Amino acid sequence: MKSLSMAGILLIVLGALAFAYQGINYTRREKVLDVGPIHATKDTQEHIPIPPVFGGLALIGGIALLVTGARRSA
């Protein structure tokens, strides 16, 4: 399989994931109190949004790379 085709498939998968999840969620743990043997922490949920435009651009770019890779090998 050519490298253009593999890059196209990767972009298509990443674009589909960007549409499906529309962001990345993670939990950040902060130390609030640390006095001797007593520890207190606070968990905060954070969200990094991924605009659907990036997913669409990745899908279009992946399809373009697949078409280019298929024409080049034929």
Structure confidence at residue 36 as a pLDDT band (50, 70, 90): confident
Mean pLDDT, residues 64-71 taken together: 85
Which structure tokens are listed for 10?
A: 């990767």
Is 90 exceeded by the pLDDT of residue 43?
A: yes
* Averaged pLDDT, 4-23: 89
SS3 per-residue string spanning 15-35:
HHHHHHHCEEEEEEEEEEEEE
Distance CA 56, CA 19 (A): 8
Q: Supply the pLDDT for residue 74.
A: 63
CA dist list (Å): 35 to 3, 11, 40, 41, 53: 56, 49, 9, 12, 48
What residue spans define the domains of the chain?
A: 3-73
User: Which residue do the tokens 């990345």 mark?
Assistant: 24
pTM > 0.75: no
